[in-house]
């Protein structure tokens, strides 16, 4: 079977990120590749509405892609019971080329280890170096159960989710030939050896909707990136090998993936077509964001028939499902779509939530600002911004924590009571970050 390829969006995933991962993994599967979508955080309410509407399961949560014991262990191992005789164990070792034999009980729990070295030493000690007359003593020794010889104390073992970096250190200190791998119930799962480290293969990834390490999965530097599909500015992801990189100035990663379906002459299922539509509507804010292009509109128009939806009505319901500020915890509001940026020496975090009106905003403004200031203090941000983007007013109430002067210089407006209103501003990517970046360059 081919190795699984993870298709991953960014941390604090939004609808475009989740839908891109699901749709692109589905395309790869249609093309015969072993791909699976993953997510790097909780599903927000808007995305949950979309997945429920089209009857699609949320992707698996991927905490990190560090190599682990499970990535290199041998699962097709031979074992024996405590009642197995030394003769039977010896034959098994000889016939299967096994040098370390795990001893397990009826539930596959590890009881001990038998090695060829232990067996050879025992037979030499018992039989001696002189010629043995008669076979009774020899047969008696060979009928000895493994339990009499197996090692049961100070066994060095690993669990399947142990990090390879930690395993290397233990192997260097102990220098055994083989090590058993067990689960939390001490059941045998497989074996690893020092030479397995040489054949260890890195996890394979496709990144969608991002290309910055700060927004990507933990352990990305130890993985193999095969492709990047994105619509943002170039970030800092570095690779050791060439890869397929597609970054287009459109409003949504789902737009790009929709066109890749066309190029590959693969028709998306109604569910996938619906997810692609949702990603486009979400990231272009119902086509009102300045990031929206004619290609976004064209793709959504083509997909809506397959998905069986009316774009405006579906989009409004989608935004309404995730935009009730008063009913949501402030941390959830802030972290739903929060991204970190490095602009020169500045560490900046920007969150965004799109709403159909900002009813309840006054009730949560103070709590949001408190949470944002906590981030500044605890995580060393120079600036934390929260965009409350009102689709009806077509503008953004921008909450500010940290260096107010940076924001005031960038947008030419005074920050009052921790916020300012920016009419016509709908996009973090095209209207907030570029303004801040230009200021950093000029200063």
If we measure between CA atoms, which residue out of 256, 220, 258 comes closest to residue 237? 220
The percentage of the chain sitting over the pLDDT mark of 90, rounded to a whole number, equals 74
Q: Could you read off the pLDDT of 180-197 as tens digits, one per residue?
A: 999 999 999 999 998 898
Q: In angstroms, rounded to a whole number, what is the distance separating the alpha carbons of residues 17 and 254?
A: 8
Strand, coil or helix: 390: strand
Please say if the pLDDT value at position 366 is more than 50.
Answer: yes
C-alpha triplet 274, 430, 337: angle, nearest 5°: 55
Which helix (H) or strand (E) element contains residue 103? strand 100-104
Q: In angstroms, rounded to a whole number, what is the distance separating the alpha carbons of residues 326 and 298?
A: 35
If we measure between CA atoms, which residue out of 392, 382, 387, 376 comes closest to residue 429? 387
Domains and CATH numbers, the chain: 5-67+203-321 (3.90.1640.10), 71-197 (3.10.580.10), 325-442 (3.10.310.20)
Lowest mean pLDDT among 52-61, 248-257, 367-376: 367-376
What's residue 1's pLDDT? 38
Lowest mean pLDDT among 97-106, 325-334, 384-393: 325-334
CB neighbours (10 Å) of residue 47? 28
Q: In angstroms, rounded to a whole number, what is the distance separating the alpha carbons of residues 323 and 388?
A: 10
pLDDT classification of 169: cutoffs 50, 70, 90: very high
Q: Could you read off the pLDDT of 382-419 as tens digits, one per residue?
A: 999 999 998 888 999 999 999 899 999 999 999 999 99
Q: Could you read off the pLDDT of 23-47 as tens digits, one per residue?
A: 999 999 999 999 999 999 999 989 9
Q: Which two tokens stand for residue 406?
A: 């940076």
Strand, coil or helix: 299: helix
Please say if the pLDDT value at position 129 is more than 80.
Answer: no
Q: In angstroms, rounded to a whole number, what is the distance separating the alpha carbons of residues 417 and 114?
A: 72
Strand, coil or helix: 318: helix
Q: Could you read off the pLDDT of 236-272 as tens digits, one per residue?
A: 777 778 889 999 999 999 999 999 999 999 999 999 9
6 alpha carbon, distance to own chain's centre: 8
Please say if the pLDDT value at position 302 is more than 80.
Answer: yes
Q: Of 279 and 392, which is predicted with more confidence?
A: 279
If we measure between CA atoms, which residue out of 4, 9, 5, 6 comes closest to residue 283? 9
Residue with tokens 């605890």: 378
Please say if the pLDDT value at position 278 is more than 90.
Answer: yes
CB neighbours (10 Å) of residue 205? 23
| Entry pTM | 0.75
């Amino acid at each position: 079977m081919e190795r699984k390829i993870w298709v991953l969006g960014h941390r604090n995933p939004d609808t475009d990120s989740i839908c891109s991962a699901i749709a692109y993994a589905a395309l790869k599967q249609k093309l015969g590749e072993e791909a699976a979508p993953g997510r790097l955080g909780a599903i927000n309410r808007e995305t949950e509405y979309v997945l429920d509407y089209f009857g699609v399961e949320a992707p698996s949560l991927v905490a990190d892609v560090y190599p682990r014991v499970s990535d290199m262990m041998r699962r097709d191992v031979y074992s024996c019971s405590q009642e197995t005789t030394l003769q039977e164990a010896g034959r098994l070792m000889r016939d299967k080329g096994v040098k370390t034999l795990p001893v397990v009980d009826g539930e596959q729990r590890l009881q001990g280890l038998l090695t060829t070295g232990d067996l050879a030493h025992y037979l030499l000690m018992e039989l001696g170096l002189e010629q043995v007359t008669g076979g009774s003593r020899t047969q008696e020794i060979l009928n000895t159960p493994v339990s009499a010889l197996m090692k049961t104390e100070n066994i060095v073992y690993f669990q399947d989710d142990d990090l390879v970096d930690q395993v290397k250190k233990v192997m260097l200190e102990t220098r055994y030939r083989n090590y058993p791998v067990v689960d939390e119930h001490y059941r045998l799962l497989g074996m690893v050896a020092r030479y397995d480290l040489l054949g260890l293969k890195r996890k394979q990834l496709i990144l969608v909707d991002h290309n910055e390490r700060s927004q990507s999965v933990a352990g990305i530097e130890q993985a193999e990136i095969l492709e990047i599909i994105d619509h943002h500015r170039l970030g800092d992801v570095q690779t050791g090998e060439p890869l397929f990189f597609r970054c287009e100035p459109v409003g949504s990663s789902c737009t790009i993936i929709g066109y890749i379906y066309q190029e590959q002459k693969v028709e998306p299922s109604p569910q996938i077509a619906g997810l692609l539509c949702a990603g486009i509507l979400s990231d272009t804010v119902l086509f009102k964001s300045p990031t929206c292009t004619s290609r976004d509109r064209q793709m959504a128009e083509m997909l809506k028939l397959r998905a069986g939806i009316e774009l405006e009505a579906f989009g409004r319901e989608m935004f309404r499902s995730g935009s009730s500020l008063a009913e949501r915890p402030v941390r959830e509001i802030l972290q739903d779509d929060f991204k970190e940026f490095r602009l020169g020496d500045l560490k900046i975090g920007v969150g965004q939530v799109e709403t159909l009106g900002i009813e309840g905003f006054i009730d949560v403004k103070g709590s949001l600002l408190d949470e944002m200031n906590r981030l500044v203090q605890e995580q060393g941000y120079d600036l934390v911004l929260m965009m409350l983007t009102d689709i009806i007013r077509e503008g953004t109430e921008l909450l500010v924590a940290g260096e107010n002067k940076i924001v005031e210089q960038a947008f030419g407006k005074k920050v009052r009571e921790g916020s300012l209103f920016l009419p016509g501003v709908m996009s973090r990517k095209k209207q907030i970050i570029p303004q801040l970046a230009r200021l950093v360059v000029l200063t």
